[in-house]
Chains A and B, each alone.
Chain A
Amino acid sequence: MRLNVTVNGERRQADDVWEGESLLYVLRERLGLPGSKNACEQGECGSCTVYLDDVPACSCLVAAGQAEGREVRTVEGLAEGEALDPVQQSFVDAGAVQCGFCTPGLVVAAHDLLDRVPDPSDEEIREALAGNLCRCTGYEKILDAVRTAAGAR
């Protein structure tokens, strides 16, 4: 099938998409956007988190066809040119990144949290990001990053 989807504000098209493909697969393998990561491909780690029509979703659980005609925003679409989004900047500043594999998903999830709850409590941050696994950082600095980003936005 042919898939039409707006990604990071750009209308994109992919041909010969197989019905069983996930949105994550389309983004990574067909649209040249490997920023969203594949760490489990079954909805258990959050590394593939993207916005689908402004709602965060595990793109590995979204069938490609479900994205037809919709808007997707990935980690590649958060920065304005050279200027990092405040969430991205605060992840760098706080030292919330180690290997960085979980980072794209966490940045999108944190971005969404702050859109919904501009000044979240620690409890709210912990709960909101509990679906995004990180094996390196121990999360503590991620918490700092989200607090800082909340202040900066």
Chain B
Amino acid sequence: MSTAEDLPVLGAPVDRVDGPLKVTGQAPYPSDVDLPGQAHAALVQSTIAAGRITDLDTTEAEKAPGVLAVLTHHTVPRLPRGPMTSLGVSPPAPLQDDRIRHHGQHVALVVAESREQATAAARLVRVEYAPADPVLDFDDPRAVSVDDPWGLDSHRGDVDAGLASADVTVDAVYTTPDNTNNPLGLFSTLAAWEGERLTVYDATQWPAMVRETLAEVFGVPEVSVRVLSPFLGGGFGAGLRAWPHVILAVQAARDVGRPVKLVLTRPQMFTSVGHRPKGVQRVRLGATADATLVAIEHHSTSLLAVEDDDYEPFAAGSAVAYACPHVVTADRQVRANVPAPVSMRAPAHAQGNFALESAMDELACALDVDPLELRLRNHADVHPALGLPWSSNALRECYAVGAERFGWSRRPARPRSRRDGHWLVGQGMAGVSYPWYQAPSLARVTVTADGGATVASSGMDIGTGTYTVLTQLCAHLLGLPLEQVRSDLGDSDLPEAPQAGGSGLTSALGSAVADACERLLGALLELVRDDPESPLHGSDPEDVVAAGGGLRRRGDPGRGETYAAILARHGRPQLGADGASTPAQPTELGMALAGAFGAHFAEVRVDEDLGLVRVSRVTTVIDGGRILNEKTARSQVIGGVIGGIGMAVFEDTITDPTTGRIANATFGDYLVPVHADVPDLDVTFVGEPDRASALGVKGVGEVGLVGVAAAIANAVHHATGVRVRSLPITLDALL
């Protein structure tokens, strides 16, 4: 049997199903949830970056109005570190000893009747330190470094020979600063114990992981832990770990025997839930005079916490970005007394692509060829390392469509050749190959007595539209109108799905939902086929389709019955089926798994006297495979592009080089793009459904951001003749 093709539901730009809840203020974010009898917590954080606590006096705080408890390393029991996850280690357990590893480390947690009381009492906790001299940067000789942390360093051919054979080479160093994820929603944890049962409302992108972590840390069975995250005020990667403050809120709830709610402050969001780590990258490229790449060498060093890990292989993507015989990529991390980094929208690729695509622009200048032409000439027609055809690849189309829409052919070749009054106008571009990532997933689909259906999964909607696309998908596959399908997400009691992160959830969870729908239809079909009372009795499965809210005879829609009728006749309140998806194996399929591809074309205006940079327009073309909902997908890509503009010209988390304190940990000082910074944006999707994904989906959550910084830096060079190799591009670099 098959499903109806007549419903224009899948791929349609339907409105997000959670829209009305959100515009009326009814969507319950973690910081909006309250439980009867709850107490409130506030953190005390270290004011030095390295050393030891010599004295921690909580007497005054404990006497303050409303205070119920003060947790310190003296009171918190020894807790194990959380488990290894598919994204790496868990953060170390909090308040385990007197050592300080970074400025802003949690040193105490005050619990009181109200949030204001907890905050006031937190100021009364007296902490004495024996400070040590912190390691704060790459060049500190005491810093410990980790070479090739993920085993992803790559070698192909002989890069030295390649460089020696080149007619033209580029050798340049690029730096990117710390950026802070800064989702708008303050991260929040509300924890409640009932005996050994634990319920936690948490700002997480991965409820199943938080459940596993809390079970392990607190020594209770996983089934007795429930983690809920039905709505989240953004995450951009910050919600991919069970952070120390989550553990502390749960411990506090156990200590005071009441639900405890902890909401981070904006400054605490800079030190407690990760950031995009800063890095230094050296890129060497070599090409023959006809613009054929013969060597790529890409080395990166990024900053890491002293006792925590993070996945950030900046250079790895350069191994597969272009057809090139001689390639070396190598990544290194240096440990410092800084807060733990974390994935931030397009981890590693955001930074690595900036270096590679800037260097490509420099190479184009040195060769005197058009930057677009250079990319086309070295396009990877097959996977450069495996030699296999891609499961899908419309990068050439991204370039062609983008160049056409942007008007690239009218761009003058020489830098500094266009102006508009006192503005110098320049145009630049960059290409993007974003890798494929998918994890196994489960989902359940149930039809109910009212004739509708429910999708259930622990996977959550970070705001990108998971509720909406799963609802569309299920409606499409079961032949139901959208209004009759509901998705329940973000609850660890529901079938386990991977994290909302890495651009992989739609593909993984969507495939599991499709599998569940297929199984469910199979079960329903069995019911009707053997049932003499059914109009479909004895039907060949091939002749039955899901349409009109039930099962129908193909080509004879009058013959069939609704799900409600089937369930009623069989006396069932509901019928459900579990579905699963597993990632495809590339080499078994004889093809290389392709991620999303993209091309960005940017125009900037630089004030000749002031050095001010304004991004005036961006044209972006994305190959994201099959797009399930053009409206939500486009919005995601636009958001990514603006994130890229932030990275290019605004965002910079500044750490004081002597104290290790973050000096701009507010929205007033850490600049993000605002409405008035938004240029004209043109986003187009191209490409075909991906052959290696059951749904043909590749994921578009991150690809929109990658490449924007390079396109802008290249446009700044075109406008001014000045090559800026350090982000963000601020006016001081252009004066």
Residues of A with Cβ closer than 8 Å to B? 18, 20-21, 25, 28-29, 33-42, 44-45, 47, 74-76, 78-79, 84, 88-89, 91-93, 95-104, 107, 125-127, 129-143
Q: Does B410 contact A (CB under 8 A)?
A: no
From the candidates A18, A34, A100, A127, name the one contacting B18 in the complex (CB within 8 A). A100
What distance in Å separates the Cβ of A36 from its nearest Cβ neighbour in chain B? 7
Residue pair B639, A84 in contact (C-beta under 8 Å)? no
Residue pair A37, B185 in contact (C-beta under 8 Å)? yes
Residue pair A76, B25 in contact (C-beta under 8 Å)? yes
Q: Does B672 contact A (CB under 8 A)?
A: yes
How many angstroms from the CA of A93 to the CA of B26 in the assembled complex? 18
Contacts of B182 in A (CB 8 A): 135
**Per-position binary interface string of chain B over residues 1-39, scored 1 when its CB falls under 8 Å from any chain A CB and 0 otherwise:** 000000000000101101111111111110110000000
Residue pair B675, A143 in contact (C-beta under 8 Å)? yes
Contacts of A101 in B (CB 8 A): 29, 183-185, 233-234, 463
From the candidates B16, B464, B642, name the one contacting A139 in the complex (CB within 8 A). B642
- In the complex formed, the residue of B with least CB distance to A90 is B23
B193-248 interface (Cβ within 8 A of A): 231-234, 236
Residue pair A130, B668 in contact (C-beta under 8 Å)? no
Segment at the A interface, from B53-61, B376-384, B629-637: B629-637
Contacts of A136 in B (CB 8 A): 184, 234, 463, 639
Q: Does B666 contact A (CB under 8 A)?
A: yes
Residue pair A35, B24 in contact (C-beta under 8 Å)? yes
Contacts of A40 in B (CB 8 A): 266, 666-667
**Per-position binary interface string of chain B over residues 617-642, scored 1 when its CB falls under 8 Å from any chain A CB and 0 otherwise:** 00000000000000110111011111
B160-188 interface (Cβ within 8 A of A): 182-186
Contacts of B462 in A (CB 8 A): 99
**Per-position binary interface string of chain B over residues 104-132, scored 1 when its CB falls under 8 Å from any chain A CB and 0 otherwise:** 00000000001110000000000000000
Contacts of B183 in A (CB 8 A): 99, 101, 135
Residue pair A138, B639 in contact (C-beta under 8 Å)? yes
Residue pair B234, A130 in contact (C-beta under 8 Å)? no
Residue pair B184, A134 in contact (C-beta under 8 Å)? yes
Contacts of B75 in A (CB 8 A): none
Residue pair A92, B681 in contact (C-beta under 8 Å)? no
Residue pair B678, A139 in contact (C-beta under 8 Å)? yes
Take A34-B25, A75-B24, A95-B635 as given contacts and tell me if A102 and B678 are in contact as well, using a CB distance cutoff of 8 Å: no
Interface hub of A29, A89, A131, A135 (most chain B Cβ within 10 A): A135
Contacts of A74 in B (CB 8 A): 25
From the candidates A35, A47, A130, name the one contacting B674 in the complex (CB within 8 A). A130
What distance in Å separates the Cβ of A83 from its nearest Cβ neighbour in chain B? 11
Q: Does B350 contact A (CB under 8 A)?
A: no
Contacts of B638 in A (CB 8 A): 137-138, 140-141
Residue pair B184, A133 in contact (C-beta under 8 Å)? yes
Residue pair A100, B231 in contact (C-beta under 8 Å)? yes
What distance in Å separates the Cβ of B671 from its nearest Cβ neighbour in chain A? 10
Q: Closest 9 A-B residue pairs measured CB to CB? A: A35-B25, A99-B463, A101-B233, A100-B22, A138-B642, A92-B19, A138-B638, A34-B32, A44-B667
Take A84-B23, A99-B185, A133-B184 as given contacts and tell me if A127 and B676 are in contact as well, using a CB distance cutoff of 8 Å: yes
Q: Does B599 contact A (CB under 8 A)?
A: no
Contacts of A33 in B (CB 8 A): 25
Contacts of A102 in B (CB 8 A): 184
Contacts of A125 in B (CB 8 A): 675
Take A37-B184, A42-B668, A141-B635 as given contacts and tell me if A130 and B236 are in contact as well, using a CB distance cutoff of 8 Å: no
Q: Does B42 contact A (CB under 8 A)?
A: no
Task: Number of B interface residues at 8 Å Cβ cutoff, please give it.
Answer: 58
Question: Could you list 14 examples of A-B contacts with CB < 8 Å?
Answer: A33-B25, A34-B25, A75-B24, A75-B25, A93-B15, A98-B465, A99-B233, A99-B462, A100-B27, A129-B675, A130-B675, A134-B184, A140-B642, A142-B675
Q: Does B417 contact A (CB under 8 A)?
A: no
Contacts of A92 in B (CB 8 A): 15-16, 19-20, 23
Interface hub of A39, A42, A88 (most chain B Cβ within 10 A): A39
Residue pair A95, B634 in contact (C-beta under 8 Å)? yes
Contacts of B266 in A (CB 8 A): 39-42, 44
How many angstroms from the CA of A57 to the CA of B244 in the assembled complex? 35
Take A88-B24, A136-B234 as given contacts and tell me if A45 and B265 are in contact as well, using a CB distance cutoff of 8 Å: no
Residue pair A45, B667 in contact (C-beta under 8 Å)? yes
How many angstroms from the CA of A45 to the CA of B265 in the assembled complex? 13
Take A135-B236, A139-B678, A143-B675 as given contacts and tell me if A35 and B667 are in contact as well, using a CB distance cutoff of 8 Å: no
Take A92-B15, A95-B16, A133-B184 as given contacts and tell me if A138 and B27 are in contact as well, using a CB distance cutoff of 8 Å: no
How many angstroms from the CA of A101 to the CA of B232 in the assembled complex? 8
Q: Does B273 contact A (CB under 8 A)?
A: no
How many angstroms from the CA of A41 to the CA of B635 in the assembled complex? 27
How many angstroms from the CA of A130 to the CA of B674 in the assembled complex? 5
Residue pair B675, A139 in contact (C-beta under 8 Å)? yes
From the candidates B21, B31, B676, name the one contacting A38 in the complex (CB within 8 A). B31
Q: Does B430 contact A (CB under 8 A)?
A: no
- In the complex formed, the residue of A with least CB distance to B17 is A92
Q: Does B474 contact A (CB under 8 A)?
A: no
How many angstroms from the CA of A77 to the CA of B317 in the assembled complex? 50
Residue pair B23, A39 in contact (C-beta under 8 Å)? no
Residue pair A99, B232 in contact (C-beta under 8 Å)? yes
From the candidates B18, B20, B186, B464, name the one contacting A39 in the complex (CB within 8 A). B186
Residue pair B184, A88 in contact (C-beta under 8 Å)? no
Contacts of A47 in B (CB 8 A): 184
Contacts of A28 in B (CB 8 A): 32
Residue pair B185, A39 in contact (C-beta under 8 Å)? yes
Contacts of B184 in A (CB 8 A): 37, 39, 45, 47, 99, 101-102, 133-136
Residue pair A97, B25 in contact (C-beta under 8 Å)? no
How many angstroms from the CA of A91 to the CA of B15 in the assembled complex? 10
Residue pair B24, A138 in contact (C-beta under 8 Å)? no
How many angstroms from the CA of A60 to the CA of B617 in the assembled complex? 35
Residue pair A99, B23 in contact (C-beta under 8 Å)? no
Residue pair A133, B672 in contact (C-beta under 8 Å)? yes
Contacts of A104 in B (CB 8 A): 23, 25
- In the complex formed, the residue of A with least CB distance to B181 is A135
- In the complex formed, the residue of A with least CB distance to B464 is A98
From the candidates B263, B464, B666, B673, name the one contacting A42 in the complex (CB within 8 A). B666
Take A136-B234, A137-B635, A143-B675 as given contacts and tell me if A79 and B24 are in contact as well, using a CB distance cutoff of 8 Å: yes
How many angstroms from the CA of A115 to the CA of B26 in the assembled complex? 24
Contacts of A36 in B (CB 8 A): 25
What distance in Å separates the Cβ of B190 from its nearest Cβ neighbour in chain A? 13
How many angstroms from the CA of A104 to the CA of B639 in the assembled complex? 18
How many angstroms from the CA of A140 to the CA of B677 in the assembled complex? 10
- In the complex formed, the residue of A with least CB distance to B13 is A95
Contacts of A99 in B (CB 8 A): 183-185, 231-234, 462-463
Take A42-B266, A44-B667 as given contacts and tell me if A37 and B29 are in contact as well, using a CB distance cutoff of 8 Å: yes
Contacts of A137 in B (CB 8 A): 635, 638-639, 642
